[in-house]
Structure 1
Amino acid sequence: MSAVFKTNSPKPVTLQFPCKQCGAVLKYAPGTAHLVCDHCGTENLIELRTGKIEEYDLNQALQQLTKASVESSAPSIHCDECGAGFQFEAKNHAGECPFCGAPIVTSTAQIKPIQPKSLLPFSVDETRARQGFQKWIKNLWFAPNAVKKYARSDTKLTGVYLPFWTFDSHTVTNYSGERGDVYYVQEAVQVVRNNRVVTEMRQVPKIRWTLVNGQVRRFFDDVLVGASHSLPRKILDALQPWDLHGLIPYDENYLSGFRSEYYQVELTEGFDHARQIMDNQIYQDICHDIGGDHQRIHQVNTHHSDTTYKHCLLPVWSAAFRYRDKSYRFVVNGRTGKVQGERPYSIWKIAFACLVGVFLAAIGYYYLEQSGALQNRQPEELTIHPYQYQQPLNY
């Protein structure tokens, strides 16, 4: 499907969701299909939006993006609850009014040419997310003891919808390389027996290399790439897996009471990262196709076709704690409760563990030497050749 961009809207569309009972502003309740009023407790059902989650043609989108012109500054926002005017942080399009705390959602068309078309609603609430964090921090290896106190604290978590890209692509890859098959020959080797050097005949492994050429094909479905700079990519990637089959059409109701970010990783940069993920899988496919005991890959040429993308929002709970004047961030997957984050290490605990390891290794070596087991080891081991891997990519 072709991409449809909406740009240069005259003013931002600001959305707030009043309670049908008392008129107070509503917030989405994680794990449900309704908004809850904090004042009277009324549950306001979210009308289910139906429709297929569309895929958009990547090449056409990239061409249109070169012509797109959008406003780059954050728009001014008016709060209908208290009448205040303000601006969100540049990367956000949903959050709370800084004056009265009312949840506000704005459209994204004023800032970005590509709009989110789908999302995964929160299914993990803040209480469960905090419990997951407490368990995670208690189980950290080599963490300073002082850090454990955060497992008992009431650290406030912030619910955030982070932007992501997904990519589909048909790939055809031609390659050349070598297949390595192990065979054995009998050779005379010298070993020490009872403090004497003796000669023995042993089976010694060798590798026979054969030139190969071939082709592999693979269809990639929903290769996920984080489009936020708020968190390191390592943390974003570690939050997987996501139940992307559960994506629903984009609906601002699910954003009420949460922060939501614009994408900061542009579409072309996102696809560059997706190609790296695809290349790693293609590399494994080539090794499997070559077969044998070992593989060398010399040349790779991959062609991408029918490449499509989606822009979606995925939910996380985010917070940070400070230790020795440094901030450590952690996040909780808002669908599964999986926790990932940054953490400090105790140098003393690591040093002690290393000393214990060296001590145990020395004891083990002593007993192996006394038993004569070290004298029976293979004098020659198989040499593993490094891969030669070059990868020009075309799409």
Structure 2
Amino acid sequence: MTDSHLPPPLPDHSSEEADGPPPPLPPLPPTPQQGPTDPLRAMFQVTEQTRTYPCDSCGAALVFDPATQNLLCLSCGRSHAIVIDPERRVIDHDLQSTMTQLRGLMATEHPTAAAVTEREIVCQSCGGRSTFSGTLTSSRCPYCATPIQRDDIHDAPLRLPVDGILPFRLDDKQGREVIEKWIHSRWFAPTEFKKYRELGAFTSIYAAYFTYDADTTTSYTGMRGDTYTVTTGSGDNRRTETRTRWRHRSGVVRSTFDDVAVLANTGFDTERVHALEPWPTAQATPYSPEFVAGHLCRTYDHDADQCFPVAQERINAGIDAAIRQDIGGDKQRISQTDTRYNALTFKHVLLPIWLLTVVYAGNPFQVFINGVTGEVQGQRPWSTVKIVFAVLAALILIVGVVLAWQAAK
């Protein structure tokens, strides 16, 4: 195919007013004092730009509970409903216009204005100090375990706001049951690795994703191959050959793509995280910080423009499949394509992952669980001793079978 790795032509807006003002950036999430999704129990610390959720019964910290989909007090057990304004929707944004305006704003600001910086936070519950580094936006106080959310990143004018979130469905107990089953099915993993409770860290984290919707029209030229058989030669040289009859084909295919998800964080095993798909993104709800309470959360390392080439590869693969189906026949050759994007939009969403990290023999191994479907993908070390014993056992079995067969014969 002729498509390059650069973003393709975007929708043609030449019919719009050429000199008009650029379209506005996606609206930022409501501030803690405004949003209907922020209940009165949410405490926002102005000096620290952080948010906590104390229980209105006992004052202990509330956390999001996947089992009930509510905020839960682990101290007194009281459940607090999360109320989402029914008028809110997870909104799509035009990729070209949004990123063009954002780049323009970034060019007029200080070069580091959009950067995610390390920041020390003072816990408003115990006074302990902890550091938010990298793209981490939600964590727990290391001294009193109070869930703390850093709001200054999500609310920054030069950062793309979060549009939606797919809340956890698997709770801690279910996640551990899934990981237990997966690890103990790895027969050739070292015994020490299976002691992951002592060696590893198991945590829940919301990872940043961009999902893309596209409506494409592609014209193509190619060839259709239909196979047939012929008999050649005679006598002992008589044989049947399979041949292909090729005919030129051309046409136009229209394809639509919905929620092509691309991980926007670094530090993960990208191939294995991608294998957690499909994500039920249709179940995503408008973002509310309450869903993040008690869980780790990260904002994006790569923005919607930087993530798009990955989505484009998947879109191109889908277009290729549509063209081959349109050509038909037993074989297809695609010689030239020309793709037009009639629409290309994106959403910034947070998706839930249970993550087990085990350091074994000085090397980190990561195991990921889809926090909604329970799909597991991960790395594990191999036990040389177990493999050697398995090979020896197989050889002994083979020798035993051969000797028994010879004795019987």
Contact 1:165–1:309 under 8 Å retained in 2: yes
For the structure 1 residues 355 and 180, does the alpha-carbon distance in structure 2 shift closer, same or farther, using more than 3 Å as the test?
A: farther
Query: What residue is the counterpart of 2:159 in the other structure?
Result: 113
Residues 331-375 of structure 1: CA distance to partner in whole angstroms, max 9, x if unpaired?
Answer: 111112211111223457668669979x99xx9xxxxxxxxxxxx
Query: What residue is the counterpart of 1:47 in the other structure?
Result: 83
Matched ranges for 1:53-92 at <5 A: 53-69=90-106, 70-72=113-115, 73-92=117-136
Contact 2:269–2:366 under 8 Å retained in 1: no
Counterpart-to-counterpart distance in 1, 2:237 and 2:394: 38
Contact 2:199–2:359 under 8 Å retained in 1: no
Query: What residue is the counterpart of 1:290 in the other structure?
Result: 327
Counterpart-to-counterpart distance in 2, 1:71 and 1:82: 31
C-alpha displacement at 1:87, in angstroms?
A: 3.0
**1:318 is paired with a residue of what secondary structure?**
strand
Q: Which amino acid aligns with 1:188?
A: G
Counterpart-to-counterpart distance in 1, 2:28 and 2:121: 19
Contact 2:224–2:246 under 8 Å retained in 1: yes
C-alpha displacement at 1:287, in angstroms?
A: 1.1
Query: What residue is the counterpart of 1:140 in the other structure?
Result: 186
**1:199 is paired with a residue of what secondary structure?**
helix
Query: What residue is the counterpart of 1:15 in the other structure?
Result: 51
Matched, 1:102 2:138: no
Query: What residue is the counterpart of 2:36 in the other structure?
Result: none
Contact 1:58–1:307 under 8 Å retained in 2: yes
For the structure 1 residues 224 and 40, does the alpha-carbon distance in structure 2 shift closer, same or farther, using more than 3 Å as the test?
A: same
For the structure 1 residues 5 and 49, does the alpha-carbon distance in structure 2 shift closer, same or farther, using more than 3 Å as the test?
A: closer
Query: What residue is the counterpart of 1:30 in the other structure?
Result: 66
Counterpart-to-counterpart distance in 1, 2:91 and 2:143: 38
Matched, 1:255 2:273: no
**2:104 is paired with a residue of what secondary structure?**
coil
Contact 1:75–1:110 under 8 Å retained in 2: no
Contact 1:2–1:57 under 8 Å retained in 2: no
Query: What residue is the counterpart of 1:379 in the other structure?
Result: none
C-alpha displacement at 1:138, in angstroms?
A: 1.9
Residues 237-284 of structure 1: CA distance to partner in whole angstroms, max 9, x if unpaired?
Answer: 111121111111111111111110011122112111111011111111
Among 170, 190, 212, which residue is 2:215 paired with?
170
Query: What residue is the counterpart of 2:206 in the other structure?
Result: 161
Structure 2 gap ranges (5+): 1-22, 32-45, 107-112, 402-409
Q: Which amino acid aligns with 1:276?
A: E
For the structure 1 residues 355 and 67, does the alpha-carbon distance in structure 2 shift closer, same or farther, using more than 3 Å as the test?
A: farther
C-alpha displacement at 1:68, in angstroms?
A: 2.9
For the structure 1 residues 2 and 126, does the alpha-carbon distance in structure 2 shift closer, same or farther, using more than 3 Å as the test?
A: same
C-alpha displacement at 1:32, in angstroms?
A: 1.6
Q: Which amino acid aligns with 2:284?
A: L
For the structure 1 residues 65 and 321, does the alpha-carbon distance in structure 2 shift closer, same or farther, using more than 3 Å as the test?
A: same
Contact 1:178–1:290 under 8 Å retained in 2: yes
C-alpha displacement at 1:290, in angstroms?
A: 1.2
Q: Which amino acid aligns with 1:322?
A: V
Counterpart-to-counterpart distance in 2, 1:94 and 1:130: 22
Counterpart-to-counterpart distance in 2, 1:176 and 1:133: 49
Query: Kindly, what percent of the aligned residue pairs are identical?
Result: 32
Counterpart-to-counterpart distance in 2, 1:284 and 1:355: 46
Counterpart-to-counterpart distance in 2, 1:265 and 1:87: 22
Query: What residue is the counterpart of 1:201 in the other structure?
Result: 238
Matched ranges for 1:243-282 at <5 A: 243-282=280-319
Counterpart-to-counterpart distance in 1, 2:24 and 2:170: 34
- Tell me the TM-score normalized by structure 2: 0.78
Counterpart-to-counterpart distance in 2, 1:58 and 1:131: 40
Structure 1 gap ranges (5+): 190-197, 364-395
C-alpha displacement at 1:232, in angstroms?
A: 1.9
Counterpart-to-counterpart distance in 1, 2:137 and 2:157: 9
Matched, 1:187 2:224: no
What do you get for the CA RMSD once the two structures are aligned?
A: 2.9
Counterpart-to-counterpart distance in 2, 1:167 and 1:11: 36
Residues 136-188 of structure 1: CA distance to partner in whole angstroms, max 9, x if unpaired?
Answer: 122236434543444x7695421101111111111111222221111222112
Query: What residue is the counterpart of 1:381 in the other structure?
Result: none
Contact 1:84–1:99 under 8 Å retained in 2: yes
Matched, 1:4 2:4: no
Moved more, 257-266 or 98-107: 98-107
